[in-house]
Amino acid sequence: MFAGKGGVGKTSIAAATAINSARIGHKTLVMSLDAAHSLSDIFELNKGLMDKNRGEPIEVDRNLWIQEIDVQEEIQRNWKDVYLYIASLFNISGIDEVLAEELAIMPGMEEVSSLLYINRYVNERVFDVIILDCAPTGESLRFISIPTTLEWYMKKVFKVERLFTKYARPVVERLSSVPLPDDAYFESLRYLFERLQGVEDLLTNPHTTSVRLVTNPEKIVIKETQRAFMYFCLYGLCIDAIIINRILPEEISDAHFDRWKGTQSRYIDLIEEYFSPVPVFKVELFGNEIVGGDDLAQLSKVLYDNLDPTTKFSTENPYKFMKKNGQYVVNIKLPFITKEDVEVSKSENELIVRIGSFKRHILLPRKVAHYDPLGAKLEGQYLIVTFGGE
């Protein structure tokens, strides 16, 4: 998964990785999870070809396919009964029919459709490598949270809601014009859930799935990258690389860019400090836009050099959040240190761990950030920091 703030260059990096993967022999799919798809543009695909294969994988090179999810097509395949019921509710409320149909495309439909494809491709071994060009950070987090949320709904609410609706429908139909969902609606949800079984384990298995966060050497972008890192850790996903994109090349010797270069250099140092020991890859700003296979292949060469881009550069998150005996705990992997080496402090919503001249800044979840550290101890390779709780 390639994730990060909008506009940092995720699509270019994802597409370049896919080209590299395909050219070394892996049967590769790169799938866009962003509603504003741009994969077809970066590969310079003909619009007629995209329209002809709407929402389906399209072969663009040897061993390489791209897929841009089409939510209208997915409604017909997966959401028809759910969509028709929601549209009818909006329509009954007085909203124009065309607008009601548009509003009935609910948040999450596209993400669930993507997960259905991913689960099927993995179970049927359709591709060797699946690369996900994620939407901006907020939507990416919704994407990874859907399996957990849907499982909770199916286990805790679905059966009760279905049973209640069955017995309440005759009464409600006599008293109100607002329809209750019919059994086809519930059966559609049940079938969707069945087809998603196992996808959460797939996403959280560090030997199968990893996240690569794409960032730029700018303060606001780095802050969002920190938040994304923290949330992906919370969801149990493995971050195996940070990619710093659009670094000004050293050979630019223009007074106008000198301050920019100095600022970028400071932020690059901060990124390496913030995210260590996760590997950091650096990509300089190209002299022109990156479009087409040749440009993407050149970008991949700069990014990965001679490395296989499908390598897992890390298989363990450097820290984990949990709750024990009512208290919040942060586990930080710090091998080869003694307690005399470590200083722990907190500044606003960050935990700061200092080892000699090295510092690690860990952005805390809001609930954890509300408390001060109660203590820290070393257990094996882990530093365990305890915070207050209820």
- Sorted by where each begins, the domain ranges of the chain are 2-70+115-137+201-304, 72-108+151-196, 319-389
Residue-by-residue DSSP string for 72-132: HHHIIIIIHHHHHHHHHHHHHTT--HHHHHHHTS-TTHHHHHHHHHHHHHHHTT--SEEEE
Q: Which H or E run includes 28? A: strand 28-32
What is the number of H-type helices and E-type strands within the chain?
A: 15, 15
Sign of the dihedral defined by the CA atoms of residues 8, 11, 16, 17, in that order: positive
Give the β-pairing of 382-389 and 327-333.
antiparallel
pLDDT reported for residue 179: 85
pLDDT reported for residue 291: 95
pLDDT reported for residue 97: 84
Contacts of 287 (CB under 8 A, 6+ apart): none
CA–CA separation, 40 and 71 (whole Å): 16
CA–CA separation, 333 and 73 (whole Å): 45
pTM of model > 0.85: yes
Residues pairing with 199 in the sheet: none
pLDDT reported for residue 236: 86
pLDDT reported for residue 312: 94
Q: Interhelix angle for 255-275 vs 219-234, to 10°?
A: 20
pLDDT reported for residue 390: 65
Token pair of 382 as six digits: 């882990």
Instruction: Give the class (CATH, top level) of 319-389.
Output: mainly beta
CATH of 2-70+115-137+201-304, one of 1.20.1070.10, 3.40.50.300, 3.40.50.720, 3.40.720.10: 3.40.50.300
Q: What share of the chain is helix, strand, coil (3-state, %, to 5)?
A: 45, 20, 30
Which of 274-279's residues contact partners 24+ apart within 8 Å by CB, and which partners? Answer: 274/222, 274/226, 274/360, 274/361, 275/229, 275/239, 275/242, 276/318, 276/358, 276/360, 277/314, 277/318, 278/239, 278/240, 278/241, 278/242, 278/313, 278/314, 278/318, 279/240, 279/241, 279/242, 279/313, 279/314
Residue at token pair 């080209």: 19
Under 8 Å between Cβ of 143 and 114: yes
For the sheet containing 64-68, what is the strand order?
58-61, 64-68, 28-32, 129-133, 2-3, 211-215, 239-247, 280-284
Mean pLDDT by 10 residues, the chain (390 residues): 95 97 97 89 84 87 95 87 88 85 83 94 97 91 88 90 89 83 91 93 93 97 92 89 96 87 95 90 95 96 95 88 91 80 88 82 91 90 85
